[in-house]
Amino acid sequence: MPGSRFWIVLKEELGRLAEILIAVLVGFVIAGILMWLGGYDPIAAYIAMFEFSFSDPYYLATTLSFAAPIMLTAITFAVGVRAGLFNIGAEGQLYMGALGAVIVASWALPGPLYLPLAIIVGSLMGAVWGLAAGLLKVYREVNEVVSTIMLNWIAFWVVEYARVYIYPNPIDASKTISMPPAGRLPILIKGTELSASLIVSLVFVGIAFYLLWYMVLGYEIRATGLNPSAARYGGINPKKAMLWAFIIGGIASGLAGVCEIAGRPPSYAITTGLSNLMGLGFDGITVSLLGANHPFGIIPAAIFIGALYSGARGMQIVTGVPLEMVKAVQGIIIIALAVPGIIRLIRSKIRRGGVKVV
């Protein structure tokens, strides 16, 4: 029965929940100490943060609107991890996806075609950007960490160039041309920034789950990540599996980029210095780690990080704690999260080398 399999997978994958909750707690406590040292009242700050992220529909909508794109960029990282990769290229792939949407926005098209074409072109451009790192990894043995960082920067400058010289907005020089209204994702709650991009993200997360645990390609990707030699023995081409993981990851981030153009008021465009895109790819790494690299862990994790961002505004307004404190919370959580992971890694390395047999 697929149902029972579903629960097994979920249970097995979210088994590290305790570890994650502790990391989150540690993040809050240490950041609280920092605030206290800086002369702020951490309790009041956290209360404000919570109020401004969940307390009424408007804030909740803001939280969810922040959560949507980082769910997708988290999928990029998570699929990579499942294939045994450390793909941190979501950032660049997201830029390329956004550029794809702007390119489509620049065309003269019948209204209903804008959105589907933006989605296709944007995710394809993200996929190509991911694939580039994949090809370098598979055929030239370039470590994907190095190649994706470089590709992130290349994407930044390519998109920045395109923003200034190819697609500048004739009315407002601080951004590119906007997605025409016909090509925009509908707003879900009036007066908020929450658009149907949340639905796009949730659907894609579901697809990623189905792909990884129910489809033959996902099986091959996971086998490759867990034991490449056995995968090869099993007639799987690990190189192909890795390339697919890069492609799927690229599609996810490309899609995130499209959603930022087609589904984020007020600009519906790329703004100066890519300021409205910057960091969304890297936040995906945090989200994926928090979500145990599992699609269904990623959803609450993305909402949590989204809440941090929307709550940060409240924290600043009410208690004066600078917005950047949220980054500190995030950073500390990541470090706290990494500790058990690192210990596990060392342990398994040692065990593989043969020191300890448990």
Partner 1 sequence: MNDIIVQMKNIVKVYPDGTVALRGVDLEVRRGEIHGLLGENGAGKTTLMKILSGLLRPTSGEIYIAGKRVHFKSASEALKHGIGMVHQHLALVPAFTAYENIILGLPSREASRKKIEKLMEETGLKVPLDALVEDLPFGVRQRIEIIKMLYRNVDILILDEPTTNLTPIETRELFHTLKELKKRGKTIIFITHKLREVLEVTDRITVLRRGRVVGRTETAKATPEMLAKMMVGREVVMKIEKKPAKPGEPVLIVKDLWVKNDLGEWAVKGLSFAVYSGEIFGIAGVEGNGQTELVEAITGLRRVEKGQVILMGKDVTNKSPGELYRLGLSHIPEDRHKLGLVLDMTVSENSILGIHRLKKFLGSLLNLKWGVIDRHARDIIERFEIVAPGTKAPARSLSGGNQQKLVVGRELSKSPRVIVAAQPTRGLDVAATEYIRKLLIKMRDEGKAVLLVSADLDEILQLSDRMAVMYEGEFMGIAKPEELTEERIGLMMGGYKMEQISSKTSPQPVESR
The answer to the question of residue 210 lying near partner 1 (CB under 8 A) is yes
From 39, 181, 186, 235, residue interacting with partner 1 (rule: CB under 8 A)? 235
Site membership for partner 1, residue 230 (CB under 8 A): yes
DSSP code per residue over 263-292 = S-TTT-S-BGGGTTTTTHHHHHHHHHHHTT
Write the interaction track for partner 1 spanning residues 6-35; mark x where CB under 8 A is met and - where it is not: --x---------------------------
**What are the backbone dihedrals phi and psi of residue 170, each rounded to the nearest 5 degrees, phi first?**
-60, -25
Smaller CB separation from partner 1, 181 or 353? 353
Nearer to partner 1, 240 or 327 (CB): 240
Smallest CA-to-CA distance from 92 within 127, 128, 129 is with 129
CB of 7 to partner 1, least distance (A): 10
Contact 146, 250 (CB under 8 A): no
Choose the binding region for partner 1 from 254-262, 288-296, 319-327, 350-358 (rule: CB under 8 A).
Answer: 350-358
Q: Sign (positive/negative) of CA torsion 261, 192, 51, 297?
A: negative
> Among residues 32, 87, 22, which one has the least CA distance to residue 339?
22
333 near 24, Cβ under 8 Å? yes
**Which of 108, 171, 173, 355 forms a contact with partner 1 (CB under 8 A)?**
355
Kindly indicate which of the ranges 40-48, 50-58, 93-101, 229-237 contains the residues binding partner 1, using the contact rule CB under 8 A: 229-237
Contacts (Cβ under 8 Å, ≥6 apart) of 181: none
Binding mask 236-255 for partner 1 (x = CB under 8 A): xx------------------
Q: What is the DSSP string of 15-57?
A: GGHHHHHHHHHHHHHHHHHHHHHTT--HHHHHHHHHHHHHSSH
Cis status of the peptide bond prior to 168, with omega within 30 of 0:
no
Mark 253-269 as b/e (b = at least 16 C-beta within 10 Å): bbbbbbbbbbbbeebbb
Contact range with partner 1 by CB under 8 A, out of 66-74, 162-170, 221-229, 339-347 = 221-229
Nearest to partner 1 of 1, 37 (CB atom): 1
8 Å CB contact between 224 and 83: yes
Q: Which is nearer to partner 1, 5 or 43 (CB)?
A: 5
User: Residue 323, interface with partner 1 (CB under 8 A)?
Assistant: no
Q: Which range in 42-50, 192-200, 222-230, 325-333 contacts partner 1 by CB under 8 A?
A: 222-230
The yes or no reply on residue 223 touching partner 1 (CB under 8 A) is yes
Our CB check for partner 1 shows the closer of 157 and 349 to be 349
Q: Are 297 and 14 in contact (CB under 8 A)?
A: yes
Residues 250, 251, 254, CA angle at the centre, nearest 5°?
80
Q: Is 140 in the site for partner 1 (CB under 8 A)?
A: no
Q: Contact region for partner 1 (CB under 8 A) — 28-36, 198-206, 207-215, 316-324?
A: 207-215
Nearer CB in complex with partner 1: 232/313: 232
- Residue in 37, 108, 171, 357 binding partner 1, rule: CB under 8 A: 357
Task: By CB under 8 A, tell whether 98 contacts partner 1.
Answer: no
Q: Are 92 and 155 in contact (CB under 8 A)?
A: yes
User: Does residue number 219 form part of the binding site for partner 1 (CB under 8 A)?
Assistant: yes
The answer to whether residue 186 forms part of the interface with partner 1 (CB under 8 A) is no
Q: Under a CB-based contact definition with an 8 Å cutoff, are residues 208 and 248 in contact?
A: yes
Q: Is 215 in the site for partner 1 (CB under 8 A)?
A: yes
Kindly list the residues in this chain that would bind partner 1 in the complex (CB under 8 A).
1-2, 4-5, 8, 210, 214-217, 219-220, 222-223, 226-227, 229-237, 350, 353-358
